[in-house]
Structure 1
Amino acid sequence: MTKLELSALQYVSQGLTYAEIGQRTGYSQVSVQKAVIRVLRKLNARNRAHAVFLACQAGILNPKHRHGDHAGFIAHQRRGEDPWECRLGCPEGERAYRRERRAARRKADEAWRGAVANLTEAS
């Protein structure tokens, strides 16, 4: 695997777009896209996520490192932090994110129950 292909695979594992990878590597978006396509062919992968999975299995990428999005990712972004600096899976970020999502689901459920109750009362 070439240096560009390996770099592209690592950045793909972090969820970056072709344009973002191009900016970080100094290559054009088209060159990065072609490199990723070559990686997909070499790994016999169906898509980018499958390529990351196969690369972890083959030992090309560190399988102990969490690649791509994790539950705390959005929480980091909302706090204005760089989510890529979180190397251990960020348990506190994940807990905060899940708490936030549970609260949002409860609120939506309550709103739904209230709407249903209003409809039944109006009938």
Structure 2
Amino acid sequence: MNLTDHELRVLRLVAQGSTHQEIADELVMTAKGVTPTVNRAIRKLGARNAPHAVHLAHLAGILRRERHGDHAGFTAHVRRGEDPWACTQGCPEGERAYRAGRRQQRKEAA
């Protein structure tokens, strides 16, 4: 069940709900080239279809569910030993909003 890096990138994008065209645009390939890659991942995982492949990959620990853009996503980066301030998917902004909200709550409570 060894997925190549390319198959794994495609499967992550499938897990995010991307269409084949969106995947092709992201990875600079044709939409027709995405289908065989998805099919190889499905076959390697022993899945029935792409959503089932994503599910099996999550169960096997190959893919992990990730949150971005909020406090939970920010702290997930911290738990993984990553720099959450370097996230380009909204985690710093979400954390700033969370902290501003907490400050506001403390002010109102005082």
Runs of 4+ in 1 over 6 A off after TM superposition: none
TM-score where L is the length of structure 1:
0.51
Match of 1:22 in 2: 24
Cα deviations by residue, 1:68-119 (Å, 9 ceiling, x for unpaired):
xxxxxxxxxxxxxxxxx578xxxxxxxxxxxxxxxxxxxxxxxxxxxxxxxx
Which letter does structure 2 place at the counterpart of 1:7? R
1:92-107 matches, within 5 Å, as: none
Q: Is the 1:18–1:29 contact (alpha carbons within 8 Å) kept by the matching residues of 2?
A: yes
**Structure 1 residues 1-123: aligned runs within 5 Å:** 1-63=3-65, 65=66, 85=89
CA contact (8 A) 1:9 1:52 kept: yes
Where 1:19 maps in the other structure, the secondary structure is: helix
Q: Which TM-score applies when normalising by structure 2?
A: 0.57
Partner of 2:106: none
Letter in 2 for 1:5: E
Task: Using the aligned pairs only, state the percent identity.
Answer: 43
Shift of 1:13: 0.1
Larger radius of gyration: 1
Q: Determine the C-alpha separation between the residues in 2 that align with 1:35 and 1:47.
A: 13
Q: Write the letter of the residue equivalent to 1:46.
A: R
* Deviation of the 1:31 alpha carbon: 1.3
Gaps of 5+ in 2: 68-88, 92-110
User: Does structure 2 conserve the Cα–Cα contact (< 8 Å) formed by 1:22 and 1:32?
Assistant: yes
Looking at structure 2, the residues matched to 86 and 59 of structure 1 have their Cα atoms a distance apart, in angstroms, of 24
| RMSD (Å) for aligned C-alpha atoms | 1.9
Residue matched to 2:83: none
